[in-house]
Every structure is written in structure tokens, then in C-alpha cells.
Structure 1
Amino acid sequence: MKNKIIVTGGCGYIGSHTVIELLENNYDVVILDDLSNSTEDTLDRILKITGTKPTFVNVDLKDETATKAIFQKHKDAKAVINFAAHKAVGESVKEPLMYYRNNLYSLINVLSSQIENNIEGFIFSSSATVYGTPETLPITEKDETQRPFSPYGNTKKIAEEIIDDVIKSNSNLQSISLRYFNPIGAHESGLIGELPSGIPNNLMPYITQTAAGIREKLMVYGNDYPTKDGTPIRDYIHVVDLAKAHVLAVERILKKEQDEAFEVFNLGTGNGFSVLDVINSFEKVTNSKLNYEIVERRPGDVPKLYAATNLAKEKLGWSADKSLDEMIKSSWDWEQKFRKQNTN
């Protein structure tokens, strides 16, 4: 019997890449997704890559009754990986209640349904934003979390606190929170990648859509940060490397290898690159010029974030090693392939 894993938000960018890694590691996958920032076509793409089409349920996880019914049906699952969340920093500043409602109601419903059905493993899709503006770099897991600038980031911080409290009250639940830095890139097949609904909020899809002629120009938000070139510095990590970490986290829980019932791990490369570094890398990889404009800072952004990843290497046996150029090339390959498929 294959171990069944429930993946919420499994049609999304990171979720879909993680589903592929789970299927290729012989897990049975059930995707729960409301398709608010993804499409059902992703399931066919997963099928082409893996030869398996995962079970899919279109559900709004803010609906407690619907969530409980689905978990009752799949109570033989061994673990849940929770990706279900809105994730745009700028949008969260403008629409904070939408973010608190969606990201926290869905989390609470998933956790309560999971506990009712004795599903013991919970992997949480967290974020480096929980560190706020760090006092020292690189950031380690021992650094204190702070009130993030954005409501999006704050939902991740509050979510981790909820999970911690729930675990303290429930001796059977085991959880790992994976704090991502900045995922970019796409699967080597070119069949899946980052495809945001509407105008992208993340840097990489905005770059590739601008280069593809979908967007007129890329807006670079601020060049007056205390960094080498004035633009924000981030730790960019390939999405497939990120997906592999989720499989290792599932295995750590199922094999009962955790040191504590609730563990947290940073997922990054340990290297910081500025926005202009990323633009320059893209122009080098593609041998083209990108149309961009420096504009005012965006609310909610911090100057520098990059990770110390020693703990993930030691405890999960995981590390990321793809170069920035490799990550960017895979993003561009995906963008080109997707646009070609959708214009033929």
C-alpha cells in the first residue's frame, strides 16, 4: 500500500512541483484546491510528467463542513502538506482581511479535520517573512520571529503559532514548518512552472512575462535600500529543490525521526542576490535586454533576506545547489514553452 498524502493548494506553483516529487517517490496524492490562483490543466501536466493523475477535489477550505467531509473520506492519509494560502505581499497590504480570512480559516479547518481523523503528520508551507527585518544575516532558525511588515507574512507567523499551540494540546500531531526564501524556476520538462493569475506579484514571472511581451515593462520597486545597488536582496531557490525538501520532511515525520513535535527549517541557498542581479542574470542567459523602470518602494518589502541552511542539511539531508543562471533559464524555458502552446 502506498502512503497517501493530502496536498492542499496542490495545483499551485510550489504545490504542483511537490506533487510531482511525491508521485515519483511512490506516494499516493490527493490534491485539495479551489483554483483561485491555479488551473485544473495542471493535473494533465502532472500526468504527462509522472504517468499518474492525482486525485483532485475542488474545494474552498474556508468551508468547514466541506473540508471535514473530504478529510473523512481520506482519513487513511498519513500526512498533510498545506500550501493553501494567498501569497502576494502587496495585495495583502491592500486587502488584509481577505488574507487573514483565507490563510487562517483554511489552516484552522484543515488542522481540526486532520485531528478528528487521526492524521498525524502536518507539513506547513511557511516563509522567511516570519523573521521580519532580521538584525543579523544569514538568518538561522534560532533567530526570533518578528511582526512581519505585510499581512501576508503575518499570516505565516500567526499560522506557526497556531500549529505550535495545537501540537502542545495534541500529543499525536507532528509537524514541520518549512520557511521558504524566494522560489523561482520551473520543472525541467518545461510543462509546469509559475503561472500567476493576472498581474504577477513575484519578480521572476514578471520578468519572463515582460520579456515575452505580455507586460510592457518590469517595475523595480525601489533603488534606495541599504544594499550594494540599492535594490532588495533575496535568497532565490529553485522550486524543484524546494519540492524535494517537502518529500524529505514527510519521510522524517513518517519515520518518526523528529527531535521535537514541531520543527522548523529554512529552505534557501544561503546566497543573496539583488533585483538587479536577477535582471542582469536574465539578460545574460537570454542574450536580450529587459525593459524595466525603477519606481518607488513597495509597502511590505525588507532590504535583505537570505538563509543559513545548515539545519536542513543536517536534519533533512537536504541542500540546494542550482545556480541563479540555471534557475532563471528554467523559468524562461517554461514561459516560452507555455506561450508557444497557448498561441498554436
Structure 2
Amino acid sequence: MRKRPPAVIGATGFIGSRLVSGLRRAGHEPASFNRTRPPVTDGRPALGLREAEIAFFLATRTTPALAEYRPGEIAAERALLISVLEEVAKSGRRPVFVLASSGGTVYAPHAWPPHAESAPTGPTSAYGRAKLQLERDLLHYADRVQPVVLRLGNVYGPGQRPTQGFGVLANWLAAAARDEPVRLIGDPQVVRDYVHVDDVTGLLATLHRYVRDDKADRVPAILNVGSGVPTSLAGLLDIVSASVGRELTVIRERGRHFDQRSTWLDSSLAAASLGWQATTSLDEGVRQYWKQVMQAQSSVDVIGSL
């Protein structure tokens, strides 16, 4: 029987664009949706949404800072998810629905890392609470879609754009390329779990393959997706300095009230159930990322000189 194309909501974003490219290289043309081609308009689904056997919801623009100060962004993201779920649920086939959540913010701060999926949740930030609410919204539809919640670590890699207050590596490498100081916010010993975007999209491709091979019943409802390697901000700064090839000037700033405590993920369930694990070391991933940043900077310099 002919398999239906996957749907990617957020197809032009950091993760979504790489997933779409990977699917196309593998010979699968996804139904792709973004802000200019929304999945639902005036209560009507776009072509390809209801037909998909697996839908990837990667359409997130909310950052921790936006979640704190612009709650309307949270409401808009939730409304989009529910509108998409309503339409996908009408297919009558219980398709797989994959939601990108946040492994770094949804777990309770009193739970000692590394966090497994069974660890208690209890986010302390508006961003974490918003992500957990999206998870609950998806699970509410579990009788009509097969939910797969991916609790992602700090995803980084080539193509990630620097955003104010979000994406430490993107901001540090962009500053280094401009020969500007980098901003280190909060305690330099706070630990995070950094996972390369290619490893993340590799897992998404694995989920698509499981659906095509009629093995979707083997996929857990909640999966951590991280490297499992705790890295402090101080350690990350050393790695960035080594990739850039010089010691960076650092501006230290006080932590923000919504910043998380140290956290990293136990992703052994993804390994046991799907045979997935992150394979890109942070040193290698940062070197790749720095090379792409410098290539982009060179292109800008050439255009500026014309």
C-alpha cells in the first residue's frame, strides 16, 4: 500500500528545515507548513495535513524571555497546536503526532539529573509551564492520534540564528565572528545538555521510518532527546574559544529569574526503543558550527564590498 507523505509544521525553522531537506534526500516529499503556508486557515486544513501518517509539530517561536514578558506568544502557539490537532484527529486513522518539547525546562528542580522520562515534572519558568501544557494538550488527543513527545536538550548547530536571550552558542559564535565580547549570563558552573541538530533530525527520520515500516507501536509516548553529557557554561566557553582559536573577551551578567538550574537528560529510552543516541561530540559540533558562521560572515563581507 502506498505510504502517505509526512507533514512538517514549522518547515522553515531551524530543525524543521533540516528535517525537510533530509526527507527529500531520502525520496520523501513532505507536506510542509509555515507562517506563509499555514496548516489551518479559517478552520480549514491545508492539503496534506489530514492525509499524513506522521505529523511533526516543530512550529515554535517562543523563547524563555518571550514566555515571561509576552504571554500572547504562548497563547498563539497553543492555539496553533490545538487547531492542527483538531484537523489531524479527523483523519480517522490515528496518525503519529510528534511534538517538540523542552527537556531542559519541564522537569522539577528538586529532581536530581540526569532526568529520565519518569522524573517528576514541575517547571519553574513560564517557558517550561507552556511546554508542559502543550504536552498535555497533545496527550488529551491520545484516542485520536498517537502522541510522541520529544523532550529536547539544548539543540544547536549550523543554521541556528542568534536570538536575544536564547541559544547561547548561536549568540557566542555570532559575537566572536564580529570580534565582539560574548555575554555569559548567570552562574558559569550551571550545567546544560547540548545536542546537535543533526542528531535530533536523525531521530525524527527514525520516527518516520518506524511509521513507514508499520512499527509505530514500538515508539514510546515521551522520549528525552539529549547527548547525556553535562556541560557547564564555563566548559562551553573553553570549547568555543578552542574552535575560534583565541581567548574570548567575556562580559559577565547576572542570571535571570527564569533561568533553569543545572540539568541534563537520560536518553537511554530512545536508545533502547529506537536504537538512537547522539553521536556528535560537542567539540566537533561547535567546530562545524563555527565554520558555517565564518562562511556566512565571509559572504556578507564580500557582498558588502561590492
What TM-score, normalized by structure 2, do the two folds share? 0.90
* 1:90 alignment counterpart: 65
Structure 1 contact 6–79 (Cα < 8 Å) conserved: yes
Structure 1 contact 185–331 (Cα < 8 Å) conserved: yes
For 1:269-280, what aligned pairs fall within 5 Å after superposition? 269-280=227-238
Cα distance, 1:237–1:73 mapped onto 2, change above 3 Å: closer
Structure 2: runs of 5+ lacking an equivalent: none
* 1:124 alignment counterpart: 99
* 2:55 alignment counterpart: 80
* 1:184 alignment counterpart: 156
Structure 2 contact 100–152 (Cα < 8 Å) conserved: yes
* 2:15 alignment counterpart: 14
Structure 1: runs of 5+ lacking an equivalent: 35-57, 187-192, 224-229
1:144 to 120, 126, 148: 120
Cα distance, 1:125–1:208 mapped onto 2, change above 3 Å: same
Q: Does 1:101 align with 2:92?
A: no
In 2, Cα distance between equivalents of 1:261 and 1:239: 21
* 1:201 alignment counterpart: 166
Cα distance, 1:73–1:268 mapped onto 2, change above 3 Å: closer
In 2, Cα distance between equivalents of 1:200 and 1:135: 25
Aligned-residue offset at 1:334: 1.4
For 1:171-320, what aligned pairs fall within 5 Å after superposition? 173-186=145-158, 193-196=159-162, 199=164, 201-213=166-178, 216-223=180-187, 230-259=188-217, 263-320=221-278
Aligned-residue offset at 1:253: 3.6
Cα distance, 1:241–1:20 mapped onto 2, change above 3 Å: same
SS at match of 1:167: coil
In 2, Cα distance between equivalents of 1:167 and 1:261: 14
* 1:68 alignment counterpart: 44
Q: Matched residue pairs, number?
A: 299
For 1:154-165, what aligned pairs fall within 5 Å after superposition? 154-165=129-140
Aligned-residue offset at 1:2: 6.0
Structure 1 contact 10–33 (Cα < 8 Å) conserved: yes
Q: How big is each residue's C-alpha offset from its partner over 1:127-171, in whole Å with a ceiling of 9 and x where there is no partner?
A: 11211425122110111221x222222221011111111114x3x
Aligned-residue offset at 1:284: 1.1
SS at match of 2:30: strand
Cα distance, 1:247–1:113 mapped onto 2, change above 3 Å: same
Give the letter aligned to residue 14 of structure 1. I
In 1, Cα distance between equivalents of 2:185 and 2:283: 22
* 2:34 alignment counterpart: 33
Structure 1 contact 93–299 (Cα < 8 Å) conserved: no
Structure 1 contact 167–262 (Cα < 8 Å) conserved: no
Greater displacement, 131-140 / 310-319:
131-140
Aligned-residue offset at 1:202: 1.0
Cα distance, 1:110–1:25 mapped onto 2, change above 3 Å: same
Structure 2 contact 96–216 (Cα < 8 Å) conserved: no
Aligned-residue offset at 1:246: 0.7
Structure 2 contact 100–149 (Cα < 8 Å) conserved: yes
Q: How big is each residue's C-alpha offset from its partner over 1:197-224, in whole Å with a ceiling of 9 and x where there is no partner?
A: x53621011111110118x43221112x
* 1:38 alignment counterpart: none
* 2:299 alignment counterpart: 341
In 1, Cα distance between equivalents of 2:218 and 2:175: 45
Give the letter aligned to residue 79 of structure 2. Y
